[in-house]
Amino acid sequence: MVDSTDEDSPACGSCGELVASSSDQRVVTSLEEGEAAYEYFCSDDCLEVWETTNTA
C-alpha cells in the first residue's frame, strides 16, 4: 500500500477542505454511467449535510 500525502487528498464534498487520512474520514460510493464514483467527506457532520442537500 502506498502512503498518501495531504497534497493528493481529495476535497470534502461538503465543505471543500482537503480530506486527510483520519478516523473521521467518510467515503460514499455510487455508480454513475456504469463507473464507480467516490465522494469524500472529512467528518460525519459534512456527510450529513451532503446527504440532506442531495436527497431526491
Residue 24 lies in a domain: yes
Q: Band of the pLDDT at 54, cuts 50, 70, 90? A: confident
Asked whether the predicted pLDDT for residue 56 surpasses 90, the reply is no
Q: How far is CA 11 from CA 3, 6, 34, 56, in A?
A: 17, 10, 23, 23
Residue 1 lies in a domain: no
At 24, phi and psi to the nearest 5? -85, -10
Number of domains in the chain: 1
- pLDDT tens-digit series, residues 2-52: 555 556 789 999 999 999 877 789 999 999 999 999 999 999 999 999 999
**pLDDT at residue 9 in the model:** 85
Half-sphere exposure of 36 (CA within 13 A, CB side): 4
Residue 45 lies in a domain: yes
Q: Band of the pLDDT at 1, cuts 50, 70, 90? A: very low
Residue 26 lies in a domain: yes
